[in-house]
Structure 1
Amino acid sequence: MKRDELEQLSKNELIELQLAQNEQLARLQAAFEQLKADYEALLYKFEHNQKKPPPTSKNSSQPPSRDQKPKKPKHHGRKRKHGPPEGHEKHERQLVANPDQVVELHPQRCQACQTDLSQAAGQLTKVNQVTELPPAKAQVLEVRQYEVACLHCGRTEVAQPPAGLEMERTFGARLEATVVYLRQEQHLSYQRTQEALRLLSGVDISQGAIDHIMRRAGQSALAQVPAIQAVVTRSPVIHCDETGCRVEGSNWWEWVFCTPQAVLHLIRHNRSADIIREVMGTFEAEVWVSDCHTAQLKAPSKERQLCLAHQHRNLQALVEAQPQLLWPKEMQVLFQHAIHVHHERQKLSPAAFEKQVARVERICERLLNRPNAPPEIGKLLRRYQKHRPSLFVFLHRTDVEPTNNVAEQALRPSVIHRKVTNGFRSGWGAKAYAAIASVIHTAERSGGNAFQAIQSLFGPPALPLQARCE
């Protein structure tokens, strides 16, 4: 309103006008405060999302297969030549000393004048070796069992077949081991296993027979699990890890317990510390190597070694989220240096090694003594302060590794099997798989291989026949 209009109003009218304006101003002030709060909330969300990097295998426990693959840059101009670099030394397959067969190539006739050269002395000019597979054809062994009445007392004697040629057996141990190897190690389905055996060996086998073979292998492997478990529980250092798996459409967990002498796989329906107590019983390890999962931290052991590879990834996530912070970068450098000192142990004198260890411990104390630490590093700082004795156990013992790579590598075939087969359709299949994996990995610890370990579950092979029947 203009001045002359206001002068014409009475006192009461001016009061009412002022009150109306005050009420309108209050509503506008409330609307402004609400808009300001909404703006600050949106700004916080934007900054939070901007600072939080996407999880990758380098800053979290996410597997590399889930990483976003970077797009290859386009080449401008001449593309890089494929193959070995210029000057690369050529490596050829070595010739074996005792070939199975030798093919002699002698000229028989002169191509110019047709003179007979079959009796002429020749000079060796070149030797080449070709490695080939013999024709694939499985052999069928017919076992005929006879009984004879004793001419003296009349007792009936029945000839007993040797191991591998039992009268109840349909397939030999080597063939059965091949079935399990294709299923367990090469992750083939029942149908693909059928096709592989038919094309490579000429064997027609039903899926029911494959299932029966897998059950027999699982039962035989399960019988060896207690012995493997006994070796694991009595080991001074145990590496432990777990990964998810699917059993009958539900989420289960596969556990692995690794020692230098044995590896134990278990598939259970939970991820709690009860599984560790089930395995360890009354035994206590000297050192337990694992990540920071709550169940792992409850394992019975005198000391613990946290996996520094996991800690490095957690620090990397903080570095990417808060690049201005120096503390996570310094902790990463410290962990990397400690691992380097561990690897150089054999090259350093005892005094030099102890000096390096003391330096690592001294730097760690300085980095963890942060009374006024920023809140961004609070979680990891409190973790390392709490588990300070579990950071560098590997520097004080020669039988402890700084990472849990041993257990993670033991679980890697199981992860591949899960992705290829999409899990187990039955509980017994999961238990059989874990038991067979335990037998295989334990055999590999002593220099064996997967096929030999699987074949041992079925007994000696039927071939060569003469050796079996002597």
Structure 2
Amino acid sequence: MLLEFEAMQKKVERKLKEMEKRVLFAEKQRDDALDKVKELRLQFYKTAARLEEEQGKNLKLRAQINRDYENSSIPSSKVLRRKKITNSREKTGRKPGAQPGHKGHSRKKQEPTRPAILLPPPEEVLEDCAFKKTARTIIKQLVRVRMVLDVTEYHADVYYNSQTGERVHAAFPDGVIDDVNYDGSIRAFLFLLNNDCCTSIDKSRKFLSDLTGGKLNISKGMISKLSREFALKTESERRTAYAEMLLSPVMHTDCTNARENGKNCQVYVCVTPDGKALYFAREKKGHEGVKGTVMEDYQGILVHDHDLTFYHYGANHQECLAHVLRYLKDSIDNEPERTWNKEMRSLVQEMIHFRKGFQPPQEPDLKKVSEFEKRYQKILETARKEYRDIPANDYYRDGYNLFLRMEKYMQNHLLFLHNSRVPATNNEAERLLRNYKRKQAQAVTFRSFESIDYLCQCMSMLVLMRLEESANIFDRGSKIFG
């Protein structure tokens, strides 16, 4: 019995050792599997992180590629892939031009400058006596334009005093100094071509030479000095406009980049609702650029884009909602899963449309304005919840930053609803800045900062001249040059 018991005990011990080996092997397999799972999990996390990062980069690149004048501050002239302009008007099937039953807009007849030419009757009238002359006469005009040189030559006899040796002659009229002098009409013509029509100096002088049959060949130096001469002669009028603009309750302002010998500088513009405008050339942006402009001493309401420098001037501020609409569209294009941007864009468009129905001295309905403000705040709450649940992508935070801005500067986005004199956009200032941008595109870069400064002064005066009732810029410019 003892031997059997020992045999059974040894057998059990062998099985226990085998079981222990199997347990150790299973534990080793389990540990290896867990290590492999851990390694795969780490690889998954790394891959997921890389995928998220690449998706963020793709979103950022896609946002950059798709940016145009509709969803960013890029001007339409800089867009490479131009879209077809949509036309929402229904087609009528009628041919373009005058329509039956409508009074036509014919060309205005001019006062004849020479005796009328009576055309002889046709041959068939002379040969057939059955034709009788009627009381009707058909009158048609042929209008031409020609450049005529008007040259006045002055002769002054020289008188010699035999006793004193003195020589004298009659005084020439004002402006007649050199052997050949050009009056204000020629200077105004070249000045307006170069600065208002944005043609180059070479093209301006060539055009005048062609008009006069090659008789007038003005030097480049004379044309380049016209801006300085015009600016100096109109300084008092610009100072008067400066003082009047300070009294305006609302003023638009904006700035754009300029180029001087390959370096960047700035051009500021200040515009009042009645049309007065002044341009200012500055070497730097920010507070240094504002010095000397109308903004520096202005105490009214400023309308501008989201340039924080402007918030240090004026008594109150209205942000340009045209920019906000474009930024909201950019957020809609790149964050289609969010709803706040669509709702906010629709609300802003509705508020602008509502505000257009009121003109000073009318004031908007306060109850309706209060409803707009509540809807505005509710949409901001929606945005906060959406960004809390799904944070903004690290590579595209423009939508989130826009939400924070519209929340912080809510009063400056809705000021136009409370004051009927305040416009919703800064289009006036941006429209006038395009005049400088056209000249900058033509010139590419200016040789000196003084050239940009004189150009800004001249552009300011041209805007002021167009506000006059008899706004003939050429005649007015001719009188200024004298």
Q: What TM-score does the superposition give when structure 2 sets the normalisation length? A: 0.76
- AA aligned to 1:314 is Y
The equivalent position to 1:33 in structure 2, one of 14, 36, 42, is 42
The equivalent position to 1:294 in structure 2, one of 298, 302, 308, is 308
Paired position in structure 1 for 2:279: 265
Paired position in structure 1 for 2:244: 231
Does structure 2 retain, via aligned residues, the 8 Å contact 1:254–1:265? yes
The equivalent position to 1:451 in structure 2, one of 444, 464, 474, is 474
Does structure 1 retain, via aligned residues, the 8 Å contact 2:266–2:289? no
The equivalent position to 1:435 in structure 2, one of 434, 454, 457, is 457
TM-aligned CA distance change 1:168 to 1:361, over 3 Å: farther
Q: What is the aligned residue count?
A: 439
Paired position in structure 1 for 2:434: 412
- Output the CA distance in 1 between the equivalents of 2:241 and 2:170: 37
| RMSD, aligned CA | 4.2
The answer to whether the aligner puts 1:217 opposite 2:230 as a matched pair is yes
- Output the CA distance in 1 between the equivalents of 2:449 and 2:420: 40
- Output the CA distance in 1 between the equivalents of 2:383 and 2:81: 41
TM-aligned CA distance change 1:317 to 1:104, over 3 Å: same
TM-aligned CA distance change 1:289 to 1:219, over 3 Å: same
- Output the CA distance in 2 between the equivalents of 1:169 and 1:30: 92
- AA aligned to 2:51 is L
- Tell me by how many angstroms 1:311 deviates: 0.8
The answer to whether the aligner puts 1:422 opposite 2:444 as a matched pair is yes
Superposition map of 1:27-426 within 5 A? 33-34=42-43, 36-46=45-55, 49-50=58-59, 52-53=62-63, 54-70=66-82, 84=96, 91-96=104-109, 98-101=111-114, 103-107=116-120, 110-111=123-124, 123-134=135-146, 136-145=147-156, 160-163=171-174, 165=176, 170-202=181-213, 203-221=216-234, 224-259=237-272, 260=274, 262-280=276-294, 283-298=297-312, 300-346=313-359, 353-369=365-381, 372-375=384-387, 376=392, 377-426=399-448
- AA aligned to 1:189 is S
Compare CA radii of gyration and give the structure with the larger one: 2
Q: Share of identical aligned residues, percent? A: 22
Does structure 1 retain, via aligned residues, the 8 Å contact 2:300–2:316? yes
Does structure 2 retain, via aligned residues, the 8 Å contact 1:309–1:403? yes
Q: For residue 383 of structure 1, give the secondary structure of its aligned residue in structure 2.
A: helix
- AA aligned to 1:356 is K
- AA aligned to 2:197 is Q
TM-aligned CA distance change 1:173 to 1:114, over 3 Å: same
TM-aligned CA distance change 1:345 to 1:21, over 3 Å: closer
Q: What TM-score does the superposition give when structure 1 sets the normalisation length? A: 0.78
Gaps of 5+ in 1: 1-10, 74-79, 150-154, 460-470
- Tell me by how many angstroms 1:92 deviates: 4.2
- AA aligned to 2:194 is R
Q: Once structures 1 and 2 are overlaid, which stretch shifts more, 30-39 or 210-219?
A: 30-39
Q: For residue 199 of structure 2, give the secondary structure of its aligned residue in structure 1.
A: coil
TM-aligned CA distance change 1:237 to 1:158, over 3 Å: farther
Q: For residue 368 of structure 1, give the secondary structure of its aligned residue in structure 2.
A: helix
- AA aligned to 1:124 is R
TM-aligned CA distance change 1:387 to 1:207, over 3 Å: same
- Tell me by how many angstroms 1:164 deviates: 5.1
- AA aligned to 1:188 is T
- Tell me by how many angstroms 1:250 deviates: 0.8
TM-aligned CA distance change 1:145 to 1:360, over 3 Å: farther
- Output the CA distance in 1 between the equivalents of 2:383 and 2:56: 27
- Output the CA distance in 2 between the equivalents of 1:328 and 1:458: 55
- Tell me by how many angstroms 1:263 deviates: 1.1
- Output the CA distance in 2 between the equivalents of 1:168 and 1:305: 57
- Tell me by how many angstroms 1:254 deviates: 0.9
- Output the CA distance in 2 between the equivalents of 1:264 and 1:352: 31
Gaps of 5+ in 2: 1-19, 86-91, 161-165, 393-398
- Tell me by how many angstroms 1:337 deviates: 1.8
